[in-house]
A = this chain, B = another copy of it.
Amino acid sequence: MDIDSLKPFFQPERVALLGATQKFGFGYGQTKTLINQGLGDRLFLVNPSQQAVFGTKCYPSVRELPVEVDLAVLIVPAKVIPSALKDCAGRGVKAAIVQSAGFAETGPEGKKLQDEMVAVAKEHGIRIIGPNCMGVVNTANGFTTTETVEEALRPGSIGTIAQSGVFASILMDVAPERGVRFSKVITMGNRSDVDETDLITYLLNDEQTKVIALYLEGVRDGERFLRTVRSATRRKPVVVLKGGRTPAGRAATLSHTGSLSGEDEIYSGAFAQSGIMRVRELEELLDLSKALAVQPVPRGRRVAIVTTSGSVGAMTVDMCTDLGLIPAELSSDTVRSVRSTAPAWMNVRNPLDVGPSPLFFKGVEAVMRDPNVDGVIAVLLIPWMVVEAIRALGIEIGHSLADLSGIRGLLKQKPLLFSMIGTRELKELVQDVLGEDIPILSSPENAARVFSHMARYGDMLAGSPA
């Protein structure tokens, strides 16, 4: 695949919007979004029945545009799209995002129309994302064909590919609350032309992207996908959440993006072989992507747990064991050093339950330094009443936390997967102190899942068996 052919989707010189409208409904949000992102005279609205939309001039046809454009965004009715694409070809368009629905996902008639559209595009050398999609978001330059909350556009390093538009919109809605930041977000819809393999290749070569996260319902060309992914995963981690794993799920995916999701066993084997990390749940996808974006993979499966609650320590080590991780045996040096400052009641072992002592972050640092430990899961629980009591003494909880510079220095060597159970407000306070290199994951159980995925990926990179 020629990567340059995808460039106009993400870094267009000039953009034409076919079907620009200020009428509330489909197209309204896309029109507003394209107008508001400051493309200025690089954006051309097209609508034969309007003089202007939201105060911006409209051209009656793409044929009438004063200059050539490289990207067209189409929100016109499905049936006019093949001919609109012909017009686009005449004005230099190299890439088209077809957001309109009404193609293969609706049945044989729609499939015919989709094939016709693809034939026109092929003939004129136009690449297509869609139809039945929301297109792209590029946080590096702020270009987006999808209306989204502004905070979701803060640049990050997670490149995300999804099939359905609603799903991608919701991902962007929840991302800011979860501390997830994207480099690119792409929805493929019916993927009549550009597919997951093309996009993985693109993201692999995209400087901003460190982690590739996909929601897939099936792979369009299995062999090509595997060939691409096998080498991709050696360069960047690839995380996949696959819908349509079961017969009922497969039937469901068929009816909404016209994609056949195929037998799950085949995918399982192929994913594992190619070093893809496969997750089963949405929170797991977000947590794993978040962690991979900022932390190293562990060199092995020996995990240490530090917590302020013995119950949660026990639950977390249970979950780690279920997942094939190995509870690390702390070295005698670590035990001695922690014990030297610990109160008498504290059992210095793994999981390390520091209870209400102020030794939580010191404990984390000590086990991070331990050569017997490949990575750490830290679970901080602070009852809200303690936060309030400390506040009553005039101390903000953030300032009362220990100095983290020692821990930060160790983050290049091994992962520190952090989680909390507690009020939102407390999580936000602590996240501010931890900073972006220590994201708070959604639960201790998911921290264990993330560690397990990372460890398997680390094995793959090191060439040892999965």
Chain A residues close to B by CB (< 8 Å): 24, 26, 28-29, 101-102, 105-106, 147-149, 162-164, 166-167, 169-170, 173-174, 177, 215, 217, 241, 243-253, 255-257, 261, 280-283, 308-315, 317-322, 327, 344-345, 347, 349, 351, 353, 355-356, 381, 383-386, 389, 393, 421-424, 426, 443-445
Contact = CB atoms under 8 A, between A and B. Distances in A.
B281 A384 contact: no
Copies in the complex: 2
Given A164-B311, A217-B311, A315-B249, A177 B423 contact: yes
30 contacts: A147-B385, A148-B385, A149-B385, A149-B423, A166-B310, A166-B355, A166-B383, A169-B385, A173-B384, A174-B422, A174-B423, A177-B423, A215-B311, A243-B314, A244-B314, A245-B318, A249-B314, A249-B315, A249-B317, A252-B310, A252-B314, A252-B317, A252-B351, A252-B353, A255-B347, A255-B353, A256-B311, A280-B319, A281-B445, A282-B444
Given A169-B385, A248-B317, A249-B321, 7 more contacts: A106-B345, A177-B424, A217-B314, A246-B318, A252-B317, A281-B315, A282-B443
Given A169-B383, A422-B170, A422-B173, A253 B29 contact: no
A320 B389 contact: no
Contacts of A384: 149, 169, 173
Nearest to A256: B310
Contacts of A424: 177, 424
Nearest to A245: B318
A164 B313 CA distance: 11
B166 A24 contact: no
Contacts of A101: 345
A166 B253 contact: no
B166 A282 contact: no
A166 B313 contact: no
Given A241-B315, A443-B281, A309 B29 contact: no
Nearest to A384: B173
Nearest to A162: B311
Nearest to A252: B314
Contacts of A318: 243-246, 248-249
Nearest to A28: B389
A305 to B, nearest CB: 8
Contacts of A309: 164, 166-167, 170
Contacts of A105: 345
Given A256-B310, A422-B173, A443-B281, A166 B381 contact: yes
A382 to B, nearest CB: 8
A281 to B, nearest CB: 5
A173 B320 CA distance: 26
B317 A166 contact: no
Contacts of A162: 311
A107 B257 CA distance: 62
Contacts of A250: 314
Q: Which of A26, A241, A243, A423 has the most CB of B within 10 A?
A: A243
A320 B243 CA distance: 12
B349 A255 contact: yes
Contacts of A445: 280-282
